[in-house]
Amino acid sequence: KNEVEQSPQNLTAQEGEFITINCSYSVGISALHWLQQHPGGGIVSLFMLSSGKKKHGRLIATINIQEKHSSLHITASHPRDSAVYICAVRLGGATNKLIFGTGTLLAVQP
Amino acid sequence: KAGVTQTPRYLIKTRGQQVTLSCSPISGHRSVSWYQQTPGQGLQFLFEYFSETQRNKGNFPGRFSGRQFSNSRSEMNVSTLELGDSALYLCASSLTPRTVRSSEAFFGQGTRLTVV
């Protein structure tokens, strides 16, 4: 069993829909990252969370430390949101090592 | 402020050769981590460097090595290349690994290595 599990693996949505991507982990962590990867490879960090909720534009990320679960929400989705979304956890201690989920491929159709 | 720079962006090598990839972190960042991304295995941790010292190593064979220089630039080397080493190699820079806040990761565009 992977230490970081994401669901769904693939997601197709219509423009304007509300989208949720889930991430569960089984290890102790100090922070959780949500990353976005477009075709071509470059990764952009969307959020780094250690508790609660963060919002940036149409993106919202939440984390429940007790339940070891995080969600990424996209409101009013747009075709430019089409990308792979990856959950990654930073373990406890003085390390920047990240463990990644397998990613969610999101396609938003106009 | 310049972002994380990885060079080269694309590389084609032959089996058995060796390759060196470079990562220049954001100015002021002293921590560099390397990751391999393949379709089959996804993103996997290779190494982590801070202040020229390797602090962590992932589960990769000894053919994979790295180092960090006094200016925080980092290189990784893969010797005796195999077909399975074909991947996107990404590096991420952070201020330091000491606290959660200082560990926020900024990724480069990656080097796409193809072994033929």
Contact B105 A33 (CB under 8 A): yes
Q: Could you tell me the CA-to-CA distances from B49 to A54, A93, B55 in Å, in that order?
A: 29, 15, 6
Contacts of A90 in chain B (CB under 8 A): 100, 103
> What pLDDT digit, counting tens, does each position of A9-29 carry?
999 999 999 999 999 999 999
> What pLDDT digit, counting tens, does each position of B10-23 carry?
999 999 999 999 99
Give CA torsion, residues A99, A101, A105, A108, to 10 deg.
-90
Asked if A19 and A11 count as a contact pair (C-beta separation under 8 A), the reply is yes
Contact A42 B108 (CB under 8 A): yes
Contact B90 A41 (CB under 8 A): yes
Asked if A72 and A61 count as a contact pair (C-beta separation under 8 A), the reply is yes
Question: What is the distance between the alpha carbons of residues A59 and A73, in angstroms, rounded to a whole number?
Answer: 6
Q: What chain B residue is nearest to A38 in terms of C-alpha separation?
A: B109
**In degrees rounded to 5, what are phi and psi of residue B8?**
-75, 175
Beta bridge partners of B2: none
Q: What chain B residue is nearest to A91 in terms of C-alpha separation?
A: B100
**Residue A39 banded pLDDT, cuts 50, 70, 90:** confident
> What pLDDT digit, counting tens, does each position of B42-57 carry?
999 999 999 999 998 9
Query: Quick one: CA dihedral A108, A46, B2, B29, positive or negative?
Result: negative
pLDDT at B26: 95
Q: What chain B residue is nearest to A95 in terms of C-alpha separation?
A: B97
Contacts of A99 in chain B (CB under 8 A): 45
Asked if B112 and B10 count as a contact pair (C-beta separation under 8 A), the reply is yes
